Structures are given as structure tokens and as C-alpha cells.
């Protein structure tokens, strides 16, 4: 059973400068909700109540966002603003969020190593803090992976199909389906940012993992790569030499908040889903399309 989640959120977010000079990229809002809150909600909706965030310099506002503000809550309650009150208390009272600092940014693998003491000797979920995964079913995406882990008790990677010409942007997994009716594959190859000719498939690792505690030993054995960074994919490849690894093709949509265009697209898509102004936004967009078309 997966009881704990780790959310790495220590990166600088240089692609969003100057906004991220004083604000973490994970706190950039999609409409009115910080990106990191969507990620935490995914873990909580999957049944996880123990969450560790790996943060770095300039990320203090993430801690403050998830801390209770009792004065604000009392004021909203007195004024009868119960919708706003619910928005500032988005998590159940039994959820515990812990923080540890990655003082030197040395890659995703090194960030995960900072979770060793908190995780202990049990499997755990990993959700990257700058990526929203919107499920197409009742189960959150990380829950889909957790269910696969409960069957096989091995590493599980979230996978999504990408255009083959874009495989060089991702870690790519190759393998064969576990069964004809299953969206799970048994992974036989992992290649980080291959050319289209090198890629064993078009299945990209999609920012979610379920990992066994043995990953920490593999991370200790991983040779730092470019810039002295320790890559999680390299550590998983070490485990691949010794044990089975599975990939699950997610039933959902990945929103990469690490680049400006996808950030803007996601804000519009989520805005269109809002009951309070979605219809007005759609009408404005249609007006803009007509203007562009006729202009």
C-alpha cells in the first residue's frame, strides 16, 4: 500500500523569468489556483495523507500557502464567504505536508534522495510539482499507477503517447503490453531524450512514478551527468538490470506548466471549465476567432 508521496519543487523556473525571480514557478496560478495545489490534490484524492515536498531557495511561499491562516478563515466565516473559505482550506485536516530543503540543485534524482529518511523502507509515489495531470476517469492519475503497483510491486512509470518528432524532449520507454486489454507495459528499455531514430517507442515518461525503497541505493550508484546532475531515469535504469519495471499509459491529459505556451493553454482550458465565467470566456474566444478570421 502506498501511504506517502514525494513532490520535488526546488527548481529555479528560469523559463518564467522575471515572474519567478521572487515567486516559485509551482505557485504560478492556473486561473486562481497555484499549480502545486493541483498536484497535492491529486495525491490526496488518491488516498495519500503523508506528503513530503522537496523545496529550495525562494520557495518559502509554498510552505506558507499550505499553512492554515486562522485569522483569514475567521474573517471569511464572519462575512459568510463560505466559497472563499473552502478555497483557502482545500485539504482534509488529516493531510500532513512536510518540507525538506535541497540546498544545492543537482537534478531530480538528487531531490528524490532527500526523501530517504522520510520514506523509510516503503514504496512511495512521486509527483513532479510543475506538471498537472488531469484524469479522464474518477481515479486520479497517480492512483492509476498505485493500482498497477499493488498488482506487481515494482517500479511503475506514468507514460503518455507523444509525437515521434518530439521524443527528444523526454525520457522514452520501450516494452511490450502486459495483456491485450491492459494499458500497462513491461518496460525493457529506457532512453533519455533520444532522437526519433533511437527511440524504442513514442511513450514518454509523464511526471509521475511509484518507486520502491531500493531506488535510494540505485541513486547512490548513479553517476552524475551533465552539470553534475543525478538523473532519476538513470537510477531506474540500474533497477531495470535487476528487476521488472512497468509503465502505465495514463488515462488523462498532461499539462506541462514548465513552458509558457502550455501554461497559457492550460489556463484557458481550465477557465473554460469554470461555472462562474466559462461561458463568457468561450464567447469572448469565439469573438476573437471571428475577428482574426474576418480581419
pLDDT band at 4 (very low <50, low <70, confident <90, very high): very high
Could you please report the per-residue DSSP string of 230-266? PPHHHHHHHHHTTS-EEEEE-SEEEEETTSHHHHHHH
Run of H or E residues at 135: strand 131-135
> At 252, phi and psi to the nearest 5?
175, -175
Residue 111 has pLDDT above 90, yes or no: yes
pLDDT of residue 127: 98
Q: In percent, how much of the chain has pLDDT > 90?
A: 68
What residue ranges define each of the domains in the chain, with the CATH number in brackets?
Answer: 4-258 (3.90.550.10), 259-295 (no CATH)
Q: Give the mean pLDDT of the chain.
A: 92
Run of H or E residues at 34: strand 33-34
Residue 234: CB atoms within 10 A of its CB come to 21
* pLDDT tens, position by position, 44-84: 999 999 999 999 887 888 989 998 888 898 998 898 888 88
Q: What's 75's DSSP letter?
A: H
pLDDT band at 295 (very low <50, low <70, confident <90, very high): low
Q: If we measure between CA atoms, which residue out of 37, 13, 215 comes closest to residue 127?
A: 37
Q: If we measure between CA atoms, which residue out of 10, 197, 14 comes closest to residue 109?
A: 10
Residue 124 has pLDDT above 90, yes or no: yes
| C-alpha grid cell, residue 289 | 476567432
- In this prediction, residues 172-176 reach a mean pLDDT of 93
Contact assessment for residue 209 and residue 109, using Cβ atoms and an 8 Å cutoff: no
Run of H or E residues at 79: none
Contact assessment for residue 124 and residue 8, using Cβ atoms and an 8 Å cutoff: no
* pLDDT tens, position by position, 207-220: 999 999 999 999 99
- In this prediction, residues 93-109 reach a mean pLDDT of 90
pTM of the shown model? 0.92
* Backbone torsion region of residue 43, taken as left when φ is above 0, otherwise alpha when ψ lies between -120 and 50, otherwise beta: alpha
Residue 262, class by beta-carbon neighbours within 10 Å (0-12 exposed, 13-18 middle, 19+ buried)? middle
Amino acid at each position: 500500500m502506498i501511504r506517502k508521496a514525494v513532490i520535488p519543487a526546488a527548481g529555479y523556473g528560469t523559463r518564467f523569468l522575471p515572474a519567478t525571480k521572487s515567486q516559485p514557478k509551482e505557485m504560478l496560478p492556473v486561473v486562481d489556483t497555484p499549480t502545486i495545489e493541483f498536484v497535492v490534490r491529486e495525491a490526496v484524492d488518491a488516498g495519500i495523507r503523508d506528503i513530503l515536498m522537496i523545496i529550495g531557495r525562494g520557495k518559502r511561499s509554498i510552505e506558507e500557502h499550505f499553512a492554515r491562516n486562522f485569522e483569514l478563515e475567521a474573517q471569511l466565516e464572519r462575512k459568510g464567504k463560505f466559497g472563499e473559505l473552502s478555497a483557502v482550506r482545500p485539504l482534509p485536516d488529516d493531510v500532513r505536508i512536510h518540507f525538506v530543503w535541497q540546498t544545492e540543485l543537482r537534478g531530480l534524482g538528487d531531490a528524490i534522495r532527500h526523501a530517504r529518511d522520510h520514506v523509510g523502507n516503503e514504496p512511495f509515489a512521486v509527483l513532479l510539482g510543475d506538471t498537472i495531470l488531469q484524469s479522464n476517469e474518477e481515479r486520479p492519475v497517480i492512483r492509476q499507477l498505485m493500482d498497477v503497483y499493488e498488482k506487481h510491486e515494482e517500479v511503475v512509470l506514468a507514460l503518455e503517447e507523444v509525437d515521434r518528432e518530439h521524443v527528444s524532449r523526454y525520457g522514452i520507454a520501450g516494452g511490450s503490453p502486459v495483456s491485450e486489454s491492459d494499458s500497462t507495459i513491461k518496460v525493457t528499455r529506457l532512453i533519455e531524450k533520444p532522437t526519433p531514430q533511437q527511440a524504442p517507442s513514442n511513450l514518454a515518461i509523464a511526471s509521475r512514478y511509484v518507486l520502491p525503497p531500493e531506488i535510494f541505493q540505485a541513486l547512490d550508484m548513479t553517476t552524475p551527468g551533465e552539470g553534475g546532475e543525478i538523473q532519476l531515469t538513470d537510477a531506474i535504469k540500474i533497477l531495470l538490470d535487476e528487476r521488472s519495471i512497468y509503465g502505465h499509459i495514463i488515462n488523462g491529459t498532461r499539462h506541462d506548466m514548465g513552458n509558457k505556451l502550455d501554461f497559457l493553454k492550460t489556463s484557458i482550458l481550465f477557465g473554460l471549465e469554470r461555472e462562474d465565467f466559462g461561458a463568457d470566456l468561450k464567447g469572448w474566444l469565439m469573438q476573437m476567432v471571428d475577428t482574426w478570421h474576418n480581419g
